[in-house]
Amino acid sequence: MSFMTKVFGFEKGKHNVRTEILAGLTTFLTMAYILAVNPGIFSALPGMPAGSVFTATALAAIVGTLVMALYAKKPFALAPGMGLNAFFVFTVCLGMGKTWQFALTAVLIEGIIFIILTLTKVRTWLINAIPGTLKKAIGAGIGLFIAFIGLQNAGIIVNSDATLVVLGDITHGKALLGIIGLFITAGLVMAKVRGGILWGILITAALGLLIKDPATGAAITTLPSSVVSLPASIDPIFCKFEWSSILSWDMLAVVFTFLFIDMFDTMGTIIGVHQGAGLIDKGNEEIPGVEKMFLADSIATVAGACFGTSTTTTYVESASGVGEGGRTGLTAFSVAVFFALALFLSPIFLAIPGAATAPALIIVGVMMMPSVKTIHWEDYTKAIPAFITIIMMPLAYSISDGILLGVISYVLCHAVAGKFKDISITMWILAVLFVCKYIFI
């Protein structure tokens, strides 16, 4: 067994080093926005300097992704999760009036519980309990979800008080840049250009220097004033936990919510990306090495809490790298290296606008749709739960809600149809728990 096989699960002849590295760079570029977004969200909390949060975010991503690369040997990247960071700041701290130290303690406890659940294979039991029909739907649902994120990032789809969402002004600014980038990226992908998604991102970012934002008059892509900067210290937020409240009901509620969202977001991402890339064993619908992926995710959450940031989770944007051909831990290792570089070269990486990465997310969304063709649409007991799973992810803006509602509808549809033998005990238990979650939480 070669060194690359032992370390990354890389097999010569089956995998390509250049492809894996390009896939890692593509994944990094599609998720690097978290380096800018996370400090902005946490800036609402006194005592959490933006520079320190930036460094903590990068460190959490590096540690979590390295564990995924070297232990799980999978092409997935991790970083503090969107949605979970908002829950941390706006619900726990600003809404409930808790300190950020309280919230960090909740994240730490959640990570420890996750490690226990993973080592006892409870998380694997849950993922294997999901029927094959829902697994296929999850892949397609995530494809629509990340495409929707891309459309939003480019301003192609915008908010509307009347209809919730509406088509933006696609003749100007970042929306125009996103559309141009979409067809450039699509052309490269259709021409089977190696690294087409990555080249699409870079070309679109370069075009952003020529297209102006109508609101500010400035170019969409701005050249950074500096190239290198030293990372800020994380001392103000490192291991700042609040142990006095760990036995309170509020702590129990916060930990459970973190746990619930993280578990099913991660589960959905792993199922969806594997399904979209055709990496699930068609014979038994099982995902190889899922326990190691879950453990990497759990360790990353504990590390992130120690560094001083919210729950670290597996990123759905990993699908962009998988779409570029990433299949081994070398892809994830490359992502970790790029995050390490970002600690010192953040002005350059943060200069890539969201409109430049949006086309990659949309194209990857397309790549994840083929799984729907194997769903038995003529059987409504399977078609309705699958459709609910798919449609609710983008509309509810939540992978976990899509899965939860899909499981509930699967049990209800089969029960109403009298097909009780097709409902496992596990699915009954999950459905009851999920209903309780919506009623009581």
Domain containing 210: what range? 3-370
In terms of DSSP H, where are the helices of 368-398? 380-396
Does residue 15 sit in the same domain as residue 50?
yes
Residue 355: enclosing H or E segment and its boundaries?
helix 354-367
For residue 71, the model assigns a pLDDT of 94
Of 370, 386, 413, which one is at a domain's C-terminal end?
Answer: 370
Tell me how long the chain is: 441
Q: What pLDDT was estimated at residue 282?
A: 58
pLDDT digits (tens, 9 = 90+) for 241-300: 999 988 888 898 888 878 877 887 788 888 877 776 666 665 555 677 788 998 999 999
- Ranges of the chain with pLDDT below 50: none
For residue 227, what is the DSSP state?
S
Q: Which of 339, 370, 401 is a domain's end point?
A: 370
What is the pLDDT, as a whole number, of residue 381? 96
> Does 95 share its domain with 214?
yes
| pLDDT value for 132 | 85
Q: Note the pLDDT tens digit of each residue in 364-382.
A: 888 888 889 889 999 999 9
> What 3-state class would DSSP assign to 58?
helix
Two structure tokens written together for 59: 């460190």
pLDDT number for residue 102: 95
Q: Tell me the three state secondary structure of residue 214.
A: coil
Residues 205 and 329 occupy one common structural domain:
yes
Residues 6+ apart with CB under 8 A from 190: none
Distance CA 423, CA 425 (A): 7
Note the pLDDT of residue 278: 67
Among candidate residues 309, 337, 370, the one where a domain is terminated:
370
Task: Tell me, yes or no, whether 364 and 393 share the same domain.
Answer: no
What number of CA atoms fall less than 13 Å from residue 399's CA on the CB side?
A: 33
pLDDT computed for residue 254 by the predictor: 87
- Please state the domain count of the chain: 2
Predicted pLDDT at 277: 67
266: Cα within 13 Å, side-chain hemisphere = 36
Q: What are phi and psi of 43, to 5 degrees?
A: -65, -15
Does 88 share its domain with 42?
Answer: yes
